[in-house]
Amino acid sequence: MFQLKDKVAVVTGASRGIGRAISLALSDAGASVALVSRSAERLEEVSAEIIDRGGQASVHPCDITDGEAVSATFKAIADQYGALHILVNNAGVTRDNLIMRLSSDDWDAPINTNLKGAFNCIKAVVRPMLKQRFGRIINITSIVGITGNAGQSNYAASKAGLIGLTKSTAKELASRSITVNAVAPGYITTDMTADMPEAAKLALTESIPLGRLGLPEDVAPIVAFLASEAASYITGQTLLVDGGMVI
């Protein structure tokens, strides 16, 4: 749909769900994709899928909460491909609980992965992107970062933080033709949402104007669009992909 020939992309949380779909979409558009998550085995499966479809992929197991590991991993990716054009900060976790029951560790987990992890990855790409005077950074936030959600104060704070990070870095990096945007999915069917009871899913579906829950494949082409030349005059924005939940 969008042309990403000769571009090199890094996708975090590429082992499953939305990150897997984004990796396939970027590859289908012509990009070489460096796949990052903690599980090498699941990344190998996604890599095999990409290669089967005629694309190029490589596997880079890394915990994005570890700044030094991120820096070494991104250096290895840049050395392997000789460039780094697109970063998709997609890796994320939830630790849901009401604020009165939320432990300090449960507070830290989404902040460290969803927000600090994205910061670690942006730090690792910003110099090469500034040098090449081109870059696309796409942060996967959530509508919960805009609306809030009972039982998700930690997760919502991390996702709202990601929107602030997106806007600020967009302002800092625009003069070098680096765009920074966020994509805010609504409810998407993945491992992250698999535990929701069927009755709750039904009630949720009724609150979605487009009348269905989302799929990873609803989010992936929007990321490919933001990574493409077609989106070169868009920066600092948050695009909602939520079936109209937040109209």
State the nearest-atom distance from the C-beta of 54 to ligand NDP, in Å. Answer: 23
Phi-psi region of 30 (alpha: psi -120 to 50; beta: other; left: phi over 0): left
SS3 assignment, position 85? coil
38 contacts ligand NDP (rule: CB under 6 A): yes
33 contacts ligand NDP (rule: CB under 6 A): no
State the nearest-atom distance from the C-beta of 241 to ligand NDP, in Å. Answer: 9
160 contacts ligand NDP (rule: CB under 6 A): no
Helices (H), the chain: 17-28, 40-52, 67-81, 104-110, 117-132, 144-147, 153-173, 198-206, 216-227
Which residue lies nearer to ligand NDP by CB, 52 or 191?
191
State the nearest-atom distance from the C-beta of 131 to ligand NDP, in Å. Answer: 26
113 contacts ligand NDP (rule: CB under 6 A): yes
Which residue lies nearer to ligand NDP by CB, 12 or 179?
12
55 contacts ligand NDP (rule: CB under 6 A): no
SS3 assignment, position 72? helix
What does DSSP assign to residue 242?
A: S
Q: Is 155 a catalytic residue?
A: yes
139 contacts ligand NDP (rule: CB under 6 A): no
Q: Which of 124, 140, 170, 182 binds ligand NDP (CB under 6 A)?
A: 140
Residue 12 CA, chain-centre distance (Å), reads: 6
Q: Which of 128, 161, 185, 243 binds ligand NDP (CB under 6 A)?
A: 185
SS3 assignment, position 142? coil
58 contacts ligand NDP (rule: CB under 6 A): no
72 contacts ligand NDP (rule: CB under 6 A): no
Task: List the strands of the sheet with 238-241, edge to edge.
Answer: 56-61, 32-37, 8-12, 86-89, 135-140, 178-185, 238-241
147 contacts ligand NDP (rule: CB under 6 A): no
State the nearest-atom distance from the C-beta of 233 to ligand NDP, in Å. Answer: 25
Residues in the chain: 247
Q: How far is CA 37 from CA 61, 72, 92, 149, in A?
A: 5, 14, 10, 26
90 contacts ligand NDP (rule: CB under 6 A): yes
Enumerate binding residues for ligand NDP (CB under 6 A): 12-13, 15-19, 37-39, 42, 63-65, 90-93, 113-114, 117, 140, 142, 185, 187-188, 190-193
Name the residues annotated as catalytic.
155
